[in-house]
Chains A and B, each alone.
Chain A
Amino acid sequence: MNRIAAVNQSANGPRPGRAQIAFSGVTLNLGGKAILENISLDVKPGEFLCIIGASGCGKTTALRLAAGLYQPTSGTVAFDGKPMLAPRRDIAIVFQDYGKALLPWRTASGNVSLALEASGMAASQRAARIDELLKKVGLPNHAGKYPAEMSGGMQQRLQIARCLAQEPKALLMDEPFGALDAMTRQGLQDEVLSLVRASDATVVFVTHDLEEAIYLGDRVIGLLPHPGRIGIELKIDLPRPRDQLTTRENPEFLRLRRELFDFIKASEA
């Protein structure tokens, strides 16, 4: 494993071997309408996969299938080789609407604590773990604040901290930065990259921002709409660690962006 990591020039990145998240022939109908059709997809452990697509193409639905929140109409979704029949505690989901996914009546530390309580951690051990997690996401001085007292970026960090408290093998992120301003968004992109590098988790990241997908991912998948199916798959070989300026100026980055842009245009036509 170490040898491969060295070759990849990144601390983690996709590891060879069995897929951690495996979609095979997944079709999902909701209310008699086909949302996703025949999706087959392997995500390797440690991989950072981004899913893009025009709105309404089923990216979020694909993520919810991976989370076990939906069951496919046909085909299977497997995690570590076992079919996903329900959500798992070691798969964490970061929702886009952080305001709805946090408990407004609990402080920042209370929100992180929710995940620790659910995992059965003894009360005496929680405080130290909460401090550590809040420090990790850059909120060490906001432990006593309620979500309503925090900015959008801080609330999303808090949600990420709660997800990290689950010690997830896989982190599923549904347009997590979609509602944030550009500067906050770039800062959080880099933070997520370093958090992921430190945790070894597999990431599936849904976004409508093409540059964000290329910037973050080891691989980008583009979905075609009505019904959602895989239309393009790009391997991203940009050097890591990524950098907001140099990576985005890299000719390969620009080429990939062009390719995805054309794909989206064609898919909307």
Chain B
Amino acid sequence: MNRSVLYWRAASFAVAAGFVALWQLIADQRLVSPVFLPGPDRAWASLVRGFASGDLLDKLLGTLEHMAYGWFVASIAGIALGAMIGSSRTMRSYVAPSLEFLRPLPVSAVIPVAIAMFGLTQSMALFVIAFGAIWPMLLATIHGFAAVEPRLYEVARSLHMSRLAIIFKIALPSASPDILAGMRLSVTVALILSVVCEILAGLDGLGHWVLLSARSFRSADLFAGVILLGVIGYLTALAMSMVERRLLKWRSSGH
């Protein structure tokens, strides 16, 4: 790590610390009623308490579970469908209009449909999260497969590579930057929809925790939940970009 990277990292931590300090100041000065705004000290205490009792950990794991399942299903389906649609021009022209209709559909409009179909259940949450998270992945995969360098297909033809070998040795790695970018976007979508589903269907998770805390004016608990959600978002994005950097080492190695 060189000096300037260190410098910028220190600067960004300083800004974050500044915000926390400002928050503490506002809370201490009672500019906002403590019923609604706890200080960072109280939020932190609530976090510690929640983890000590195990409640918050359960909720955290619940949210992570919803998010992971939905994201996993969306990834598998998105990449498989995207590969099929993206690698065939005919498929693209047949399917693209339907996709264009479905894509801008707000997921919030799909939730009542899902509730009618599955009830207030885990399956409903899985369906909604997967439905919402599939789009970035599906569209990125279609684009990635459609943009494979045609020259490489000619190389594959002259080497008599099998269809399977072409998919796994040429198309998939070539589309991997797009696919990974799609996966990074959709992990965030999955988090948002997990919270929404937990709130709407009362499923065990941070969304439910946040809702109950707000309703009973436990502002410190509410903030603890929100902070934890922020941390999940931050860490998953960080993990995805680390995976991306590792897998796409070949891209950044240019002069």
B161 at the interface (CB under 8 A from A): yes
**Which residues between 204 and 255 of chain B lie within 8 Å of chain A, taking CB atoms?**
248-251, 253-255
Question: Within 8 Å CB of B173, what residues of A?
Answer: 103, 105
* CB-based contact B250/A91 at 8 Å: no
Q: Given the complex of chains A and B, what is the CA–CA distance between A134 and B157 in angstroms?
A: 23
A101 contacts B254, CB within 8 Å?
no
Are A148 and B159 within 8 A (Cβ)? no
A89-B158 CB under 8 A given contacts A103-B170, A105-B176? yes
Min Cβ gap A64→B in Å is 9
> B155 to A149, Cβ gap below 8 A?
no
Q: Would A101 and B152 be within 8 Å (CB), given that A148-B251, A149-B254 are in contact?
A: yes
Contacts A105-B250, A118-B165, A148-B253; A100 near B151 (Cβ below 8 A): yes
A68, A69, A104, A118: the one within 8 Å of B159 (CB): A118
* Contact in complex: B165, A89 (CB < 8 Å): no
Query: B30 an interface residue at 8 Å Cβ cutoff?
Result: no
Interface residue? A115 (CB, 8 A): yes
A97 & B151 in contact (Cβ 8 Å cutoff): yes
Give the distance in Å from the alpha carbon of A38 to the alpha carbon of B152 in the complex: 30
Interface string of A74-111 (1 = CB under 8 A from B): 00000000000011110111010100110111100000
Q: B158 to A92, Cβ gap below 8 A?
A: yes
In the bound complex, residues from chain B placing their C-beta under 8 Å from that of A106 are 250
- Check A39 for interface membership: any CB of B closer than 8 A: no
Kindly state whether residue A253 has any CB partner on chain B within 8 Å: no
Size band of the B side of the interface?
20 to 34
CB within 8 Å of B: which A202-260 residues:
none
Evaluate whether A95 and B151 lie within 8 angstroms (CB atoms) in the complex, with A146-B253, A148-B254, A149-B253 already known. Answer: yes
Asked if B100 is at the interface (CB within 8 A of a chain A CB), the reply is: no
Interface residues of B in 126-167 (CB under 8 A from A): 149, 151-152, 154-155, 157-161, 165
Residue A67 is within 8 A (CB to CB) of chain B in the complex: yes
Asked whether B169 is an interface residue with its Cβ less than 8 Å from the other chain, the reply is yes
In the complex, residue of chain A having the shortest beta-carbon distance to the beta carbon of B249: A146
- Minimum CB–CB distance from A113 to chain B (whole Å) comes to 10
A117: Cβ under 8 A from any B Cβ: yes
- The answer to the question of A114 belonging to the interface, with a C-beta cut-off of 8 Å to chain B, is yes
By beta carbon, the residue of chain A nearest B254 is A148
Closest approach, in angstroms, between the C-beta of A204 and any C-beta of chain B?
14
Instruction: Report the Cα distance A97→B169, complex, angstroms.
Output: 20
Q: How far is the CA of A106 from the CA of B165 in the complex (A)?
A: 15
Is B151 a contact partner of A101 (Cβ separation < 8 A)? yes
Q: Are A149 and B255 in contact, with the CB atoms below 8 A? A: yes
Apart from A105-B176, A148-B253, what are 11 other A-B pairs with CB-CB below 8 Å?
A69-B154, A87-B158, A89-B158, A95-B155, A100-B151, A103-B169, A104-B250, A104-B251, A105-B251, A149-B254, A166-B158
B→A interface (CB under 8 Å)? 149, 151-152, 154-155, 157-161, 165, 169-170, 173-174, 176, 248-251, 253-255
15 A-B contact pairs sorted by A residue (CB < 8 Å): A67-B158, A68-B158, A69-B157, A100-B149, A101-B151, A103-B170, A114-B169, A117-B165, A118-B161, A148-B251, A148-B253, A148-B254, A149-B254, A149-B255, A166-B158
Using CB atoms and an 8 Å cutoff, list the residues of chain A in contact with chain B.
67-69, 86-89, 91-93, 95, 97, 100-101, 103-106, 114-115, 117-119, 146, 148-149, 166
